[in-house]
Amino acid sequence: MSATAVFGSTGLVGSQILSTLLSTPKNTTTIQTISRRAPSSSGAKLQATIEPDTSLWASKLAALSPAPSTVFSALGTTRQAAGGIANQWKIDHDLNVELAKAAKRQVGTRTFVFISSAGSSGVIANRLPYTQMKQGVEKAIEDLGFEQSIILRPGLILGDREVPHQGGPLLIGVVRALGRWIGQGAQDRWGQEADVIARAAVHAARIAEEGKAPAKHWVLECADIVRLGRNEPTIIGPATGPEPPYPYRMEGKVISGFGRGSKELGIPTANLPVDESVSWISDIPSGVYFGWASLALPSSHPDFLGHQFELYPMVMSIGYNPFYKNTVRSAEVHVLQKFKADFYGCQMRLLITGFIREEKDYNGLEALIADIEFDCEVARRSLQRVGWAPNEKVEGGKLDYGWLLRRLDEEEEQEGEKKA
């Protein structure tokens, strides 16, 4: 991530955003903060500006060097701390809007990330002063037309504040009790830990910087925040390589699927037939898998490299895809390589080395796309290890991949020998 600025860096969520940025290896440049007092985090990349007068923050933002391409705002206070609703409005609404305008018009910020609140839309929310403030900021950010705007709408923010909100500790205790008694999902529905919200904000900004955000104005609700922010495994399996029953083999000619991978998701998929010839497939759970694909492109294909089969990392879905309510089980493969043309009818082989997660339903297309992007990252990281990679792709790779590259005429000869 390039130069970044954080507002609200001394608050519960803002301080977590700052510490997450400072500890993220991919963050290779400057992290700037503007606050009334010094943030608790420190680091070589941090440039902290202390300015007690918030009316000067917009001009301080405009003067930052290097100019931040991403700005995070976790600014917020309470009516009690501010001394009334009018003073709270000046911070939660007016200051946030002023900073967003300065970021867009004076700094040229590409991505603006705002920590809003769950319930900031709907009939009831329209009548509540607190949510009216959040709505106003969200609309102002969208109207400014940033190259990318990201809104996070967490539920009750769980964590220890320097000055507890009135009734906050009791509510936090109730929500955490739901997690202990009923399950983590119950807690996630009503509240999220501050560090989870922070990681989700940083993760979303990184996705946006890579050009993979699902929408120009991206809104993350509670479930999205949990998915992006919780520490999920980003590497599957032991370093030594796949464990039984993996790897599985599958092959066939690429067939046309549902026609939505590229059109709706921007993630092209290749479909393979699921039939009785694939004996193991009925015994495995529906979900997302990963491994290696080999593809026999014709010499006329723009991506043909001179060999009958070429190797590529892949991630695939086996199942019914609940989001689209499929009634037929399918195998949809996303090859982690950009192609200049489709390859319907080409022979594809799959060496499936591991399982990422079970399939699930989603509230919207954005959540589905975000999970697919996460699955792709898990596959890439997992397959970079020598125990999981062919030596053709990773130096010292130990994965047995001979079958993937075996010529079709060799297979035919072997089949003939078996029949004889």
Burial 77-87 (b: 16+ CB within 10 A, else e): bbbeebeeeee
Contact 393, 311 (CB under 8 A): yes
Q: Are 253 and 346 in contact (CB under 8 A)?
A: yes
Instruction: State the maximum Cα–Cα separation within the chain, in Å, rounded to a whole number.
Output: 91
Distance between CA atoms of residues 355 and 292, nearest Å: 13
3-state helix, strand, coil in the chain (%, to 5): 35, 20, 40
Tell me the DSSP string of 139-174: HHHHHHT-SEEEEE--SEEES--SSPPTTHHHHHHH
Please give the full DSSP string across 376-387, using - where no structure is assigned.
Answer: HHHHHHHHTSGG
* H/E run at residue 46: strand 46-50
332 is catalytic: yes
Nearest to 19 by CA among 160, 199, 157: 199
Phi, psi (deg, nearest 5) at residue 99: -70, -40
Cis amide prior to 154 (ω within 30 degrees) = no
CA distance 388 to 314: 13
Q: Which of 209, 332, 412, 413 is catalytic?
A: 332
Strand ranges, E, within 124-166: 148-152, 156-158
Q: What is the rounded CA–CA span in Å between residue 39 and residue 50?
A: 9
Any idea how long the chain is? 420
The residues carrying an active-site annotation are 332
